[in-house]
Every structure is written in structure tokens, then in C-alpha cells.
Amino acid sequence: MHQNKGHKLTIGLVLSTVPKYSETFFRNKIKGLQANGFEVILFVDYATAHDDDFLCDCVVAPNFGKSKLTSISYSIASLFKSLFKHPKRSYKLFKLDKQDGLSFNKCFRNLIVNEFLLTRDLDWLHFGFGMLSVNRENIAKAIGAKMAVSFRGFDLYLSPLKHQACYKYLFQKAVKYHVLSNEMKTDLTAYHISEKQIEVIPPAIDVNVFQTDKKQSINDNVIQLVTVARLHWKKGLEYTLEALQLLKEKGVKFHYTIIGDGSEYERLIFAAYQLGLKDHVTFKGKLPQIEVKHCLEQSDIYLQYSIQEGFCNAVLEAQAMGLMTIVSNAEGLSENVLDGQTGWVVPKRQPRVLAEKIEAVIQMNQNEKQAIRTFAISRVREEFNLKKQNTAFVKFYED
Amino acid sequence: MKNRLKIAVYSGDIPSTTFIERLIEGLSGSPHDIYIFGFVKRRVSYPSNVSVFGYKNIRIYKAITLLKYSLLLKLFKSKDKAKLDKILKNKSKNLLLEKLKSYPVLWHKPDVFHIQWAKGLSEWIWLKEFGVKIVLSLRGAHINYSPIADEQLAAMYREHFPKVDGFHAVSEAIAQEAEKYGADSHKIKVVYSGLDITSNTKETRLKNDVFHIISVGRPHWKKGYTYALDMCDILKEQGLKFKYTIIGGAGDIELAYQIKDLDLSAQVTLLGNLPFSKVEAQMKASDLLVLPSVEEGIANVVLEAMALQTLVLTTDCGGMGEVIADGENGFIVPIRQTKLLAEKVIEAASLTSEAYKNLTDQALKTVKARHNEAQMVTNMLKLYEQI
């Protein structure tokens, strides 16, 4: 381990694929670390078309799943490399897995599929999502690096429901955790993780992109409502549509735009149809950042009535754009929006309460709205900018 | 029309879903010849007047089947083959697969070709060129919401529905929905699905201290289980002692998270798929079957519960209102109304044994009168014979 001062720290970041151009979080993080003198190496499970011109060095796992033949040949190659290129690390990994009580076959399998993670000298091995660390709990120790794991929401709250006890081994290890909100920190401590091991670094947005000169005011005739979200059940869009049906019944004139695509399109458009909202809702699909910004500029109220949410960048962007923002109380959202100060937080799964809040916000006077808007913009600019996040990550690794 | 017809029942898969297999079994008792085409998932033994002309998903098997029918058509119906080849060439993306599916049908040329799933209609519309009558079933999602989400599908329906010779609608509601896409109301016959009703029913309401509620079905969003779980939240708040079981709901993260979120793990159980006999036993042991769906044709599970004399609470989606009359043979509430669902459960839980029995007796009468298997088969045959 290289700990002497002045040494350039090397961070190995483990992701599923190389972040696309639109996946700003990891790109920004990598750029920020590089600017602060860190070396970053990216380890990914799957190769994609745009990997070549990526910001940093990438190590791609062999594609074992292609066919039986490739699976066997890659396995032999991995085993060969394990034995002859880094025998000490391989032995250590095998031994540590064995100490955890894994079967011989499992230890052997872990060694073969994770061989590519043993190839570099690192100070930190950081898994970008909780699930990426499963079956890899001993790799950092085997290569003499410290281990870090980021939890982003889905992986902390939903993955364990599908994969029972998936973090059983992880939570026994000396790991530094990164979470997005204090709520997530509290929930993580419920797994007997010491608070000292957990660092809260909220997401950040490019406040230079998401800013506007336009003095926002609620449209007089038709209120423009907007949500930017994947069409996934956890985003609570069905509840949102039910709230809008209640608004419609009350005679409020509005139009709702949903930006994003996903597997639940059929469910949502059918809900809109059944609720009599088909002409009041537009599904825009996924849009590039600049068009998202343009859409936010045209809108009055931003809704994020999620069922489960780690923190949510889109809500930060909406606040930065001066929209009246109404969110649910799902996990990190009540830290993202300060209720009554930068927007409003309403209990989840209660469309009636959401409808009442939207109506109340519409009826607020301009001064009250302006106060909310001003505070929301300044808070996002100060607290959730990229620079601040970069500094926090530098501290995360240096501490 | 001839007295003895060649009737093809096409769903794509052999065997097909329970209710389509039930239809085939029922039709096998008729004087007509029944043909089944499509992909053979596993061997099924059918009565002697049911002929299977399928292909297995093994390359060599498919090649032999294709070769056999290519030769037969080339030798004995070469004009027909040339005509079909031309049609397929113009529209097909995977010509060999299309031929594999189509050649056996052209060779055996049934009098009536009954398509079970509307989305597949455009693949078979060529049959009209060869004098084959097309019957199309109007079932569930294919009519109720897929064309709302998919403009191209809606356009296909509008183009081809007017060419269909007869429609089999599983409910009045779905018949009306299909008319929006150009189905001629005179050509639609509503044939309710039928059950083989045994007298294996329970006598009176179970005397459970805890009110047992059950739902049965895969965890698809259209089943509306999220509404049922929100309903449970209200029931718990109101102090009702209850248990809720969803058979088929296991492994669904959305439901698992909702149960955790609403702290309902003591009340709610998600079970995996069970064999029908076990489902039946669970239904009989329950006080109430809830169907919280947002979309259905007519849910078979409701008919089954009625036949077993388990009280039913359903949402008024699709054709459910044609089966359940509120307070007469069960309970029915509007879709997507959690609070109303909860109110009805509380009403059901407070029924006297006598009132409970009255409702379930009526329910049994309803299914006996309108959802027996013999009636379904007779009506389907009438549809085939009329066109």
C-alpha cells in the first residue's frame, strides 16, 4: 500500500459499463479526481462501442457469456493468468473467500471471473453500485487496496428484496461506504455498519448548464407540470397520474409532460387513458440535456412523486431552474427539497394529498413563490455543485 | 356451409393457455375436424378428431417439416403455393419461418381459421385469398390496452378488422372496444368462457377469526396488486384482522417493496405459482377473493371462485360487470379506487353467515347458468357454422 505523502493515489472504479456521454455523474467524478492529481482506472463488466475514447484507462472483463466455447477458453485464459501473472493475489483471494466459508467451486469461480480486477496496483478499489461488489468482497484486500462501495438507492433498497442476503459478506468487511443522503446513511447503519464508515456525498449538477435568466411565473391559463424520470414503477408515476385526475375533476387546467423512457410506458399510457388524462399528458421519451433544460424552462411545477429514490438529480435540476418543486418523502427526497423552503415534500402513495399540494402551490402569490424560487436556486448552486462534490470525493479517498 | 367443418384453432403454441386448451377439448366433442397449427412446446394427447400439424424448435425438425410441405404444395397445389409465396415475399422479414408456419395451413386448408390473439391477425390475413374464413378472438390486453400504447397496432386493427368473418368476444365490454377499430358489430358474438363446474363447493362461510383474502394471478401491472396492497394499508389502519395472500406474486420487487414500505409483512404473503389443485384449496380456505385489476376480459379466476362459493370482490374492469352485480352475487367497485376496495372488504367481513351464503349461492347460480363449458362450446360452434 502506498500511503506516503505526495504519492499519486490510484483509484480503481468498478462499473458495469463505461459511462455514456449522458451519464454525467461518473464522468464528472473521474474528471474531478484526475484534476486533483489522482489516477483513475475503470473496470467494467461489458464492453460498449464508445469505450476507446474514454477519459481514463479501462480494463474490460472477458465476455464469458457469449457462447460455451468462449466461456471455456476465457476461463482457461483467466486461470492461466491468475496462476502465472499474479499468483500471490490469486492465492490470497482464494484463501479469503475460503475463510468466508465459500465452497471450493464458488472460490474457484470467483477467482476466474474476477481475474481482471487483480491486474492493477491500486490504492482504492471503489464499486460504483452495491450489487457490483457481490462475490467480490475480498478482492480489495487480496490486491492490498482499500475498499469503497457506493450505494445509490435501488441497490440498497430494492436489490436485497430480489437477492436475499446479497450483502451478507460485504457488510462484514472493512469498507468505506458512500451514500447519497443522510436517510440512506441511517438505513445502512441498520445493517450494523458503523457511522464512521459511511460518508454522505449528495449528487451534484452542472449549475452552469441548469440556470436561467427567465423570471419564472406560473402560466395563467394552462399550468405546465413536468417530471424527468425513467418510466419505472419506483418513480410513482401512476400515483402522480391519479393525483392529476383529481386536479382535473376540480377544474384545474394543466398539461403534464413526462420526459424519459422505460419499460412501464404501456402501463402509464393506459393509466392516463383510463383516468381521462390522455389529452393532458405527453410522453416525450428520453431527451438530450439541452432539450430537458428547454422543457424545464417552459414549465411551472416539477413533480417527483417517487416510491423509492436515493436522492434524484432531476429534482436538483428543476430547483436550479427555478421551478416550484413538489416531491414525495421517499428516502433522500426530503433532503433534496427542504419542505416549505425550496419546494414541498408530501407523503408518498397518497394521490389526494399530492393533488391538494399542487392546487395550493398554484394558488400561492407571486412573492411567496419568488421566495421559494430564490432560496432553491441559491441552495442548489451552493450545496450541489460539481466542485463541491469533487472536493468531497478527494477528501473521501484521502482521509 | 358443409355439415362437417375443418376448424383450425390457432394460438401459436401447442399446448396453449388453459382456457384455449379447454376450448379445444370442448370442440373435440363436436362432429367437426379440429386442426391445431403452431410451435409444439411439448407433446399433448388430444382426442382422435383433433389433428396437430406443428413444428418443434429443433433445426432439423423444422427443415424436414418445411421440405415436406414445400414438396406437397409444389406437386399438388403449385398455383396456390406460388400465390402464397408472392404474398409472403412482399411482407415477410423472416421468410423461412413464415413459410414454416404458413405452408401446413395452406396444405390442410381449413374451412375456418380461428386466431386466438389479435396481435397475430396480420400474419394470417392472406388466408382470405384462399377462401378460408377467419374468426378472431377478442381477448384482454390485445384489445383493451395494447393498441392504445401502440399506434401501429391500432392501425393494423383498423386495416384488417373489417376483413374478419367473425369475432369471438369474451365479454360485451371487449366487443364494444373492438368496434372502435372497425369490427362490425353484426359479426361479433359474445361467448363467455366456461368452466367444468363440479359440486365440490363449500357449504357456508368459513368461521375464521382472521378474515382471509386471496388473489390469484401473475404479478403483471394490469392485475392491480399495488391497489390491493394500498387497500391492506387502510384495512390495517382500521383495525381489521386479516391475512392477504397473492398466489403468483412471489419474486416481484415492486410488491415486495410496497409490503415492506407499508409494514404489511405480518398480514401479506406472496406465494409462487401453485398447481391448480392447491390454488383451488387455497381459494376454498379463503373468505374473499379480490380481483383488483385495471384490465381484464373476464377473469377466469373470478368464475372459479364463484364456482367454489368463495365470495368475490372485483373491480369493474373489462367484462367483470357482466358477471358480478354488486350486493347480489358478490361485490364490485370502480377501478383504481383503493378506499372503495377497503370499504367493501370491511362490509364483506361483517356479513352474517346467512348473507354470505346468499351471495355465494347466487354466484354459483350465475356461473352455472352462464359460464358452463357445454354452453361455451355450443356457442362457439354456432359462430363457426354461421359465418
Task: Give tens-digit pLDDT for B182-233.
Answer: 999 999 999 998 888 876 556 555 566 899 999 999 999 999 999 999 999 9
Are A325 and A345 in contact by the 8 Å Cβ rule? The answer is: no
Q: Do A52 and A125 fall into the same domain?
A: yes
Q: Do A196 and A230 fall into the same domain?
A: no
- Position A218 scores a pLDDT of 55
Provide the sign of the torsion angle of the four alpha carbons B116, B122, B124, B129, taken in this order: positive
- Position A24 scores a pLDDT of 76
Looking at beta carbons, which residues of chain A come within 8 Å of B222?
Answer: 267, 270
Q: Do A334 and A321 fall into the same domain?
A: yes
Output the nine-digit C-alpha cell for B5.
367443418
Note whether A277 contacts B: Cβ–Cβ < 8 A.
no
Q: Do A231 and A368 fall into the same domain?
A: yes
Q: Residue A87 domain-assigned?
A: no
Of all residues in chain A, what percent carry a pLDDT higher than 70? 96
CA atoms within 13 A on the CB side of B364: 18
The answer to whether the CB atoms of B257 and A162 lie below 8 A apart is no
SS3 of residue A66 by DSSP = coil
Range of the domain at A133: 10-60+120-204+386-398
What band does A3 get if pLDDT is binned at 50, 70 and 90?
very low
Q: Does domain B211-370 fall into CATH 3.40.50.2000? A: yes
pLDDT higher than threshold 80 for residue A23: no
Q: Which residue has the cell 372459479?
A: B304
Q: Which residue of chain A comes nearest to B231, CA vs CA?
A: A349
The answer to whether the CB atoms of A266 and B146 lie below 8 A apart is yes
> B362-371: per-residue pLDDT in tens?
999 999 999 9
> A358-385: per-residue pLDDT in tens?
999 999 999 999 999 999 999 999 999 9
- Position A219 scores a pLDDT of 61
Q: Residue A212 domain-assigned?
A: no
- Position A4 scores a pLDDT of 45
Q: Do A170 and A255 fall into the same domain?
A: no
Note whether A353 contacts B: Cβ–Cβ < 8 A.
no
What does DSSP assign to residue A330?
Answer: S
Indicate the residue of A242, A269, A348 with minimum beta-carbon distance to B149.
A269
Looking at beta carbons, which residues of chain A come within 8 Å of B262?
Answer: 349
In CATH, what number is assigned to the domain containing residue A176? Answer: 3.40.50.2000
What 3 state SS string does B56-84 have?
CCCHHHHHHHHHHHHHHHHHHCHHHHHHH
Mean pLDDT of B118-132: 96
What band does A50 get if pLDDT is binned at 50, 70 and 90?
low
Q: Do A130 and A182 fall into the same domain?
A: yes
Q: Do A46 and A189 fall into the same domain?
A: yes
Question: Which residues, 6+ apart, have CB-to-CB distance to B187 below 8 Å?
Answer: B164, B165, B166, B167, B387
Q: Residue A164 domain-assigned?
A: yes
| Residues facing B372 on adjacent strands | B195
Looking at beta carbons, which residues of chain A come within 8 Å of B150?
Answer: 266
- Position B122 scores a pLDDT of 95
Q: Residue A373 domain-assigned?
A: yes
Residue-averaged pLDDT of chain A:
92
pTM for the complete prediction? 0.90
Of all residues in chain A, what percent carry a pLDDT higher than 90? 80
Mean pLDDT of A253-281: 96
Mean pLDDT of A100-120: 94
Q: What is the Cα–Cα distance from B287 to B290, expressed in whole angstroms?
A: 10
Fold: same for B6-194+373-386 and B211-370: yes
Nearest one of B82, B172, B84 to B132, comparing CA atoms? B84
Q: What is the Cα–Cα distance from A15 to A47, expressed in whole angstroms?
A: 11
Indicate the residue of B251, B257, B262 with minimum beta-carbon distance to A157.
B257
Q: What is the Cα–Cα distance from B319 to A119, expressed in whole angstroms?
A: 62
Q: Kindly report the nearest CA distance between residue B280 and chain A, in angstroms.
A: 28
Mean pLDDT of B382-387: 93
- Position B382 scores a pLDDT of 95
Q: Residue A109 domain-assigned?
A: no
> A233-246: per-residue pLDDT in tens?
999 999 999 999 99
Q: Which residue has the cell 400561492?
A: A364
Q: Kindly report the nearest CA distance between residue A260 and chain B, in angstroms.
A: 15
Q: Do A188 and A231 fall into the same domain?
A: no
CA atoms within 13 A on the CB side of B324: 32
Q: Which of A277, A349, A353 to mutate to test the interface with B (most CBs of B within 10 A)?
A: A349
Nearest one of A168, A166, A146 to A155, comparing CA atoms? A166
Are A247 and A358 in contact by the 8 Å Cβ rule? The answer is: yes
Q: What is the Cα–Cα distance from B314 to A48, expressed in whole angstroms?
A: 48
- Fold of the domain built from segment(s) B6-194+373-386: Rossmann fold (3.40.50)
Looking at beta carbons, which residues of chain A come within 8 Å of B148?
Answer: 269-270, 273
Q: How many domains does chain A divide into?
A: 2
pLDDT higher than threshold 90 for residue B121: yes
SS3 of residue A265 by DSSP = helix
SS3 of residue B150 by DSSP = coil
Looking at beta carbons, which residues of chain B come within 8 Å of A349?
Answer: 230, 233, 261-262
Question: Which residues, 6+ apart, have CB-to-CB distance to A42 below 8 Å?
Answer: A12, A13, A15, A18, A30, A54, A56, A57, A58, A59
Q: Which residue has the cell 382422435?
A: B48
- Position A65 scores a pLDDT of 75
| Residues facing A339 on adjacent strands | A343
Q: Do A163 and A235 fall into the same domain?
A: no
CB atoms closer than 10 angstroms to residue A200 = 17
Q: Do A316 and A281 fall into the same domain?
A: yes
> B51-89: per-residue pLDDT in tens?
999 999 889 999 999 999 999 999 999 999 999 999 998
Q: Which residue of chain B comes nearest to A278, CA vs CA?
A: B148
The answer to whether the CB atoms of B148 and A273 lie below 8 A apart is yes
The answer to whether the CB atoms of A275 and B230 lie below 8 A apart is no
Q: Residue A83 domain-assigned?
A: no
Are B267 and B242 in contact by the 8 Å Cβ rule? The answer is: yes
What band does A1 get if pLDDT is binned at 50, 70 and 90?
very low
Nearest one of B110, B106, B170 to B141, comparing CA atoms? B170
> B264-318: per-residue pLDDT in tens?
999 999 999 999 899 999 999 999 999 999 999 999 999 999 999 999 999 999 9
Q: Which residue has the cell 403449385?
A: B78
* Per-residue CA distances from B178 to A392, B39, B183, B189, B261 (Å): 59, 28, 6, 12, 40
Q: Do A140 and A55 fall into the same domain?
A: yes
Q: Hey, what's the torsion of the CAs at B154, B160, B161, B167, to 10 degrees?
A: -120
Note whether A246 contacts B: Cβ–Cβ < 8 A.
no
Q: Residue A341 domain-assigned?
A: yes
**C-alpha of A150 from chain center:** 9
Residue of A49 and B38 predicted with greater confidence = B38
Mean pLDDT of A45-60: 82
pLDDT higher than threshold 60 for residue B1: no
Q: Do A34 and A164 fall into the same domain?
A: yes
Q: Residue A82 domain-assigned?
A: no
- Position A222 scores a pLDDT of 94
The residue extents of the domains of chain B are 6-194+373-386, 211-370
User: Is the ipTM beyond the 0.85 threshold?
Assistant: yes
Q: Kindly report the nearest CA distance between residue B279 and chain A, in angstroms.
A: 24
